[in-house]
Amino acid sequence: MIGLSKSRIIVWRQCPKRLWLQINQPELAVWDDAQNTRLEAGHTVGEVARSLWADGVLIDSDSLTEALAETRVALTTGNPVFEATFQHEGVLIRADLLLPEEDGYRLAEVKSSTSVKPYHLADAAIQAWVSRQDGITICGVEIAHIDSSFVYPGKEDYRGLFKYVDVTDVIAPLEAEVPEWIAGARVTLAGGLPECAVGDHCHEPFECPFLSHCSPVEANPPEFPVELLPYGGGLPAELRAEGYADLRDVPSDRLSHPKHLRVWQVTKSGQPELLPEAGETLRALPFPRYYLDFETYQFVIPQWVGTRPYAQQTFQWSCHIEDAERRLTHTEFLADGRGDPRREFAVRMLDALGDFGPVIVYNAGFECGRMRELGRDFPDLAPALEAVIARVFDLLPLARTNYYHPDMQGSWSIKAVLPTIAPDLAYDNLEVAHGGMAQDAFAEIMHPDTTAERRQQLRKALLEYCERDTLAMVRIAHYFEGI
């Protein structure tokens, strides 16, 4: 009989086929960077949660027999037990935090999210059920999740980082269902590959790593699938059901949204559309012009004093400056990864941007949001930052309103627009090619074990990437102006 764990039962509840494939054909799984990042964040969050309980005993043996024995010994100490290992009829669990109380133990599952999610309840129900069946008196069950209002005071003080939510009563009905879940998972593993249609469950609560196997690429996919319609909602599925796969084959009377009609018309004609208003708007802007882009990092566990969990923390900017003769100069900032760079980031940016001239960005909400946060964290810089915000000009809505090329495939992201205007500035030849990779690169720079040689290589890659973003804005603006 194949053993079960909490995670395997949770997988079965999401999709029996996923569990079967995970056990029998794991080589078919495709894990993306986001899934790996989430797992790493979970490990880090767990370590911090354990550090907040004095005299805790960690059960870290890889041997099931040893872990079970170590847990029994740890339970005699009267101290908190971390990763307490229990087993009942072939079902294995490891409890994140087992906290002693007068009438038993309080079981807390630690989560890296900022709220209690529905799947957390099933998770906790399994943990509690197996623990009780193994003879442990559980007097309460909690979900310990990140409190997004926590502000890091420094000196490794993370008291208050977690919010403990009592779910004892909420999970009671689910605990009663656990034996049925176990039986269902065992039936699945004892049989052949289950038949499960692709649906919403493939993405909730997590993206299934077997989705590409269950939903293979079409043999002859349409060049312009109906799914590229921006903000299409359920319309693409309706069109597919009516037999339309390629957007060019859809009758015009099936589209009513102006943006859909515009995308359809340009795609059908094969000719890009650039309205003259784009150039007129840009030509009215004075000089000098500052093309600005930020890179940020999200710490699950705050590292810099005064910061909050998951907040976007600035670490890099690039700026191309264009004068009235269309001459370009470039300036930039990249943190060294050895401390809080935010103030230096802001001061050097303010110095580079001067006091006059439009600050051109692509998606103003992002850059303006980060500048307001910097002004909140450094009040003496707030007036100057607000003055810069007042000068911001956003290229994104200008592009959405006035430009579309069939190759953009329904997207106005800068990486969709740029190849249609300046293919020589493609990102595919860069070591860092998108924002997620930039975050990963900076995380590696900050890691104490990264060698000086590797750190220098990563810095070079980050500088090239961010400079490419601002040069891309220059080329897009010039194209709109007819230059």
Least Cα distance to 6 among 126, 175, 129, 179 occurs for 126
**Domain boundary residue among 155, 190, 225?**
190
Q: What CATH number corresponds to the domain at position 336?
A: 3.30.420.10
Same-domain pairing of 162 and 298:
no
407 assigned to some structural domain = yes
* Whether residue 185 is found in the same domain as residue 315: no
Q: Which of 79-88, 139-148, 253-262, 344-353 has the lowest mean pLDDT?
A: 253-262
Residue span of the structural domain in which 91 resides: 4-190
How long is the chain? 483
Cα end-to-end span (Å), the chain: 70
Place of tokens 């072939």: 90
- Do 8 and 156 reside in the same domain of the chain? yes
CA angle 174, 180, 181 (to 5 degrees): 75
What's the chain's Rg over C-alpha atoms?
A: 27
Count of C-beta atoms within a 10 Å radius of residue 150: 19
Looking at 190, 212, 243, which one is the last position of a domain? Answer: 190
| 3-state DSSP assignment of residue 68 | helix
- Residue 212: predicted pLDDT: 85
Contacts for 253 with CB less than 8 Å, ≥ 6 apart: none
Residues 180 and 281 in one domain: no
Judged against a pLDDT cut of 80, whether residue 263 lies above it is answered with: yes
Q: How confident is the model at residue 36 (pLDDT cuts 50, 70, 90)?
A: low
- Burial bucket for residue 178 (CB in 10 Å: 0-12, 13-18, 19+): buried
The CATH number of the domain holding residue 17 is: 3.90.320
Residue at 156 is within a domain = yes
Residue 34 is predicted with a pLDDT of: 63
- Domain assignment of residue 113, yes or no: yes
- Summarize the confidence of residues 390-404 as an average pLDDT: 97
Q: Looking at residue 220, what is its pLDDT?
A: 80
DSSP one-letter string for 382-422: HHHHHHHHHTEEEHHHHHHHHEE-GGGTT--SHHHHHHHH-
Distance CA 352, CA 391 (A): 14
The pLDDT > 70 percentage for the chain reads: 98
Q: Assess whether 152 and 287 both reside in one domain.
A: no
Q: How much is the average pLDDT of 117-141?
A: 96
Mean pLDDT, residues 357-386: 98
Report angle CA 172, 176, 182 to the nearest 5 degrees.
130
CB-based contacts of 103: which residues, under 8 Å, 6+ apart?
137, 139
* Average pLDDT in the chain: 94
87, 71 contact by CB (below 8 A)? no
Predicted confidence at residue 232, as pLDDT, reads 86
pLDDT at position 104 over 70: yes
> Considering only CA atoms, which of 292, 309, 291 is closest in space to residue 301?
309
Residues 181 and 292 in one domain: no
If asked whether residues 153 and 286 sit together in one domain, one would say: no
Total domains in the chain come to 2
| pLDDT value, residue 1 | 61
CB 439 within 8 A of CB 396: no
Does residue 245 belong to any structural domain of this protein? no
Query: What pLDDT score was predicted for residue 428?
Result: 86
Please check the confidence at residue 459 and state whether its pLDDT lies above 70.
yes
Cβ density class 364-377: b for 16+ within 10 Å, e for less = bebbbebbebbbeb
Place of tokens 């899934």: 35
Residue 177, C-beta contacts closer than 8 angstroms, at least 6 positions apart: 125
Q: How confident is the model at residue 35 (pLDDT cuts 50, 70, 90)?
A: low
Where among 165, 190, 215 does a domain terminate?
190
What's the angle, vertex CA 360, arms to CA 359 and CA 362, rounded to 5? 140
Same domain, 341 and 472: yes
